[in-house]
Amino acid sequence: MKRRFALFGLVVLVASVSASSAAARWSPPVGTAWQWQLDKQLDLPVDVPVYDVDGFETTSHQVKRLHNLGRHVVCYVNAGAWERFRPDKDTFPDSVLGRNLDGWPGERWLDIRRIGALRPIMKARIAKCARKGFDAVEPDNIDGYQNRSGFPLTGSDQLRYNRWFANQAHKAGLSVALKNDLGQVKALVGNFDFAIVEECFQYRECGRAVPFIDAGKAVLEVEYELDRSKFCTKAESLGFSSMRKRLSLGPWRRPCS
C-alpha cells in the first residue's frame, strides 16, 4: 500500500513538473501577426510580435536585438531534408540521404526512420537555437512520407519522428511549430505549440489546420500566388495569421491586417 502511494506521488510530481515546463514556454496565441524572413539582410523594423528567421544565418546578437524590440523569435531549421550549403552537411551519413527535393537544388530528403543516426545532428541544431536565445523552432520538411523521398516512409514513421523532434525542442525549453503536414494535425496538435502552413487557401485544405485554433494555438499562414482579396476574409474568420509572401521569403510581406 505504501509503495503504491509513493508511486502515485511520483506520477503527480512528474505531471506537475511537465505542466510547469509547458507553462514556462512561450507560444503565440491565436491571431498573432508575424514576419517570416529566410533570405537577404534581416529587416528588423517590421512591427509584429513574431519573427521567424534562419537558425544558422541569424546571430545571437540579432536575436537579442529583436527581443529588445519586443519580438519573439522562431528558429528555422530543416528537420526533414539535407542541405548542401549548411555547415554541418558532412555530419549526415550517406545512408540517410534520399531523393532531391523538387524545385530546391542541393536539398535531399532524409530517412526519418533512422532517428538514431539523425538524433545527434538534430539535437545539435536545436541546441544552437536555444544557445542563440530563440523562443521556438520551426522544423521544415516534416512531411516526407507524402513525397517521393526515396524511402518507403509511412505515416507512422512520420508521426514517430515529428513527436520525437517536438519532444527534443521542449526539452531544450523551446516551443515548436508543426510545419505543414496537414494530414496529421489531429494526431499531432497536442505535441506542437502552434502551426506554420503554406498555401492552404490555394489548395483548399485550410480546414485541416483548424484543430490548432480550437486548441487556442496560432496558425501562421502564407500564400505565394493568391491575391489577398482571395483569402484574407476567410483567414480572418478562421483566426489564421495570414499574409502574402514571395517564395524567396525575403523581407517583403503583405499581411491581411
pLDDT digits (tens, 9 = 90+) for 32-85: 999 999 999 999 999 999 999 999 999 999 999 999 999 999 999 999 999 999
Has this prediction a pTM greater than 0.75?
yes
Residue 7, classified by CB atoms within 10 Å of its CB into exposed (0-12), middle (13-18) or buried (19+), is exposed
The CA distance from 92 to 164, in Å, is 18
Task: Name all domains of the chain by residue range, CATH numbers in brackets.
Answer: 2-255 (3.20.20.70)
List, for residues 183-240, the tens digit of each pLDDT value. 999 999 999 999 999 999 999 999 999 999 999 999 999 999 999 999 999 999 999 9
CA dihedral 80→81→82→86, nearest 10 degrees, is: -80
